[in-house]
Structure formats: structure tokens, C-alpha cells
Structure 1
């Protein structure tokens, strides 16, 4: 079964540098502020030219850019510049500074593992996530796609269980990912 989460159901809040929109949190009764989640998918808008990432002890982070360009500096680790759809994976307890006004897509993982990738969809394809069933998600960046008979529109998120997902679309862009070891 696939759950389609419409943008009307996303939870938006303010932070010191802009806004954050929580698309999904697991378990569903978890609270980001209490850090009692297994994973969280969100979109953040940064209005400052420079900001410090909140330190998130014990949380793995995966981030990509939807709009703009971001320079990330992970103190004593590495520096990276991200353009749209490029991805960085790092530890939430690192000292991280970002430069650039951007809109970014985030996956936070606590006591579990997961990842996401970017893909253009121009036909019918199978997205193979692994050998065993796991939680998957697909975020529609632009266009619309069909997932096993369900329609996913721009700025909507699909979450479900599976290992091989059939998607179809034309001139559509998505982030797709998985969560394991819950």
C-alpha cells in the first residue's frame, strides 16, 4: 500500500534562518523537537547568506538542493558546493556551516539506515531498491508520475513498502529513497 501525502498535510514552521516544512516523520507520533524519530523527510528554505546547521547528535543526514546553490563546510572534514539535485551525506553531529540562499531537501536518519537519489522519469521504469522489502519514498519535484496505479503530483510525497517500484511519467523529476533497519 502506498500513502500519498499532499502538500496541504505538510507541517511548516519557522527557524532562525527561514522555514522548514516537514513532509513525513516516522513514527507518525514522533516529534522533531524531542528527537524521538527514526527518520524525517523535510524541505528547508534558507533566507540567510550564511547559517550554522543545528547539531544533531546520532543522526545521519542526506541533503540535496531544489533551488539555488549551497556551499557546505564540514569543519575538519571537507567542503562541498551543491547545485540542484546534487547530494551530500554527512553526520549530524559535525560542525556544519552553509552559505547560500537555497531550498533544500533533507533526510534525517536515527537508529536506522537509508538514502535517496535524484532521477528524471520519461517512460515506465522499475526502481529496484534492494533485495528485501523496506520503506520507500518518492518526492515529485516536477511533473507528475504514476506509482503502481497511484498518481503523484508535483510537491507531493509517496511512502510505502516494497523493493521494486514501478513508476511512469513524462518530463518528471523525483527524489526516491529507502529506509532500512527500523
Structure 2
């Protein structure tokens, strides 16, 4: 079996960053999304980005795909975009998604998600650490495209509402410092991530 396809989700509005395109913020001399790419590429067969930035993300050498649904209905739209990309362009049985603002993703994310799913073509799996779910870090059977499309069009917006309905499995990771799923949501988070990288925290 070929390595799974991965889509980095960067389609949000970055409100807590003042609307700045968070994926391109500098962290230790590189865009934030580049750290995510470098963590995930060794585990993946193909990598792309879900972004609603016109023209894609400059300087990031990855294919870019906007939401396939209008009006930015949230992270579920990015997951649906990933599922459709993997199914229609690669005939993949499942796809992995990760957020663009998690620069410390574990090096064994994909195999552990696959193990938790047990049957990745039929069961979704979410990452968790320290007793907390990280639902955007997930494995999604591409057969779920129509189900997810109906859920979004029916008003579902929270990822966990949908994953509860489909009985997604959980892949538990040890809590570390920094947490492997540390999210950069604010300028303070970015400063702290830089401190982690240079060993000053």
C-alpha cells in the first residue's frame, strides 16, 4: 500500500491573529506551515494545502485547493475538500488532515491514526493527547464524502458533532512539552513556539 495522502488545512480566517494569513507567519526563519509540511512529508505519499487565499500560499511548494463548498463553513469544509481531493485525484481509500498551525506534530502520526482506525477505508480516527481531542488531526475514509457533504449542508459545523455521529476512533498520544498538537492561535502562542524551538522554554 502506498503512503497515505495528507492535506494541511489552512482555510480559516485567523481571527485571533488579526486576520493575517497565519500559515505564512514566520517561525524560526520559516513560514509556520513549512514546519507542518516538514513534519508530515516523511510520513505521506502526497501533500496538499486547503486554503481560501486567492492564488494559494506564495512560497509554499505544495498544490493548493480551496473549499469545495461556499461561504467558509469551517474546518469540516476543509476535511470535505481533503476527502474529495484524495478520492477524485488519487482514488485513495482514506486521507489524513492536519492543521497549518501545529508545528510539533508527531513523527508517527499517520501510522498511529491508521492503527487506531483498524480499517482505515471504513473507520475515521482522531488524534488525542493529554485527554484532549484534536479533531482536525484525523484520518477520514473517502467513502464518507457524501455523508459529510449532507452534514455540512444540514447545518453541522463542529467537527466533533460529526465524528460522534460516525463513531470515529481515537489515537492517543502522550502529552509532552510542547504538546505534539500545540496550536499557534495567537501572537503569544507564536512567541512560545519560537522559544520551544530555540530551547529557551
TM-score past 0.5 threshold = no
More helix by share: 2
TM-score by length of 2: 0.28
More strand by share: 1
TM-score by length of 1: 0.30
